[in-house]
Structure 1
């Protein structure tokens, strides 16, 4: 198995970060041909997703997450997990909706994504600007 970590700086804002080029670079470095790629974010307040970026879908996802996980908590009653900045409790619920991991098939050295799909880090936590993403490749 090949494995590496990516350092990702997300800053102090909610963000969707396209990791596709960095994923492809890692696969190139490994001389990957066919197999499975695991993408994992070892944080309690972030997730990874496959989605379209650049056409507004990334912003739509963040807006939808704000609607589903409002900073004020369910029915405005606050979050029981209350340390950090206001609304930070919602960030700890995020990985239940946006998984912290995904597995992609790799064909001909590339992740087998659809035409408009990208591998993305989803981070709503304004309190942690530095993230790590672990890539692990198993040859087929």
Structure 2
């Protein structure tokens, strides 16, 4: 079967992740497991976060200093405080929404030979922007053949 005659398949699964407050939580292996279970060897994997105060990023997965520096930079760029109108859930509420706007709520990763085509040093992270831990839902949609 060639790409021209292949029937495109779809596979979708919800992941539930528990964050421990402001942190970057790597969940590459869970997404890779969904790709494996799909049986799709060539295609695309879209990962979508169903929240507005956390985000998804693809970033360095070897040196934790990279993640710490990213956290420091974003906290300086979008400080917490009482200067926002929207503060229903506390002083980190609106800054969390702004941080999400500056990052992503979805990522699309190619699938090659049944695996995520991430680079050697790349990992997929949930970036929790709130001080308290939360349960976060991530939709993983795999399409291809």
Question: Which ranges in structure 2 are unaligned for 5 or more consecutive residues?
Answer: 1-9
Number of the residue aligned with 1:86: 91
How much does 1:87 deviate? 2.6
Q: Name the TM-score, length of structure 2 as normaliser.
A: 0.87
**Structure 1 residue matching 2:119: 3-state secondary structure:** coil
How much does 1:62 deviate? 1.2
Aligned length: 135
> Which whole-Å CA distance do the structure 2 matches of 1:47 and 1:97 have between them?
9
Instruction: Identify which of 8, 13, 25 aligns with 1:4.
Output: 13
Deviation sequence 1:77-121 (CA, Å, 0-9, x none): 611211112232101112211110111111011111111000111
> Which whole-Å CA distance do the structure 2 matches of 1:136 and 1:2 have between them?
6
The root-mean-square deviation of aligned C-alpha atoms, in Å, is 1.4
Instruction: Please list, as runs of the form range in 1=range in 2, the aligned pairs for 1:25-36 lying within 5 A after superposition.
Output: 25-36=33-44
Number of the residue aligned with 1:19: 27
1:68 aligns to 2:77 (yes or no)? yes
Deviation sequence 1:30-81 (CA, Å, 0-9, x none): 1120100101101011111100134121221111110111012xxxx61121
> Which whole-Å CA distance do the structure 1 matches of 2:40 and 2:128 have between them?
28
